[in-house]
Amino acid sequence: MPIKHIRPTHVGRHPEVFAQAIAFTKEGGYIDITTSGGNYMGSAADAFVMALEEGAPIDRITFSSDGHGSMPRFDKNGEMIGLTVCKVSDNLLQLRELAGKIGLEKALLPLTRTIATALCLENKGVIEAGKDADLLVMDKDLKPIHLFMKGRQVMKDSEVIVKGAFEE
């Protein structure tokens, strides 16, 4: 199976898996670091920085929250002690933390261009003529203010004005 079809996820949960994931990026593969915790070295931002320090190409690492999915909780010995729910908002929290470590332009990559490229979404991930016109406007503290999806405004002045099929 071509490497482009394999997508290791949750790669920050164990040192050996993480080392293999970094090697995988050096072979041209993409890896995903879960922003909703579970990274042995601390946060997803910490894992991202560690991957870069170990030589992983910045354009081969993506972030995802596993939004609303179940996430195991582990004790200090690595034993599972329960489950919690992943929060979509963890992507934003990790963006803020990562921006403080490597700068905003680079910190945006795992949530924008890199994930779009990895998933072969040619019209996503960049602001460019002919693309989908997805745009998030944030303030200096990286708080979302306005959001446009395919050119349609869905958030205005930090309030969601267009909701999904299952939202009230």
Q: Tell me the three state secondary structure of residue 39.
A: strand
What whole-number distance in Å separates Cα of residue 167 and Cα of residue 12? 32
Find the catalytic residue in 66, 90, 132, 134. Answer: 66
Cβ neighbourhood burial of 127 (10 Å; 0-12, 13-18, 19+): exposed
Catalytic residue flag (residue 66): yes
Angle between helices 90-102 and 44-53 (to 10 degrees): 40
What whole-number distance in Å separates Cα of residue 110 and Cα of residue 47? 12
Diameter of the chain by CA atoms? 51
Picking from 55, 30, 9, 33, the residue whose alpha carbon sits closest to that of residue 120 is 30
Which residue(s) pair with 136 in the sheet?
147
Residues taking part in catalysis: 66
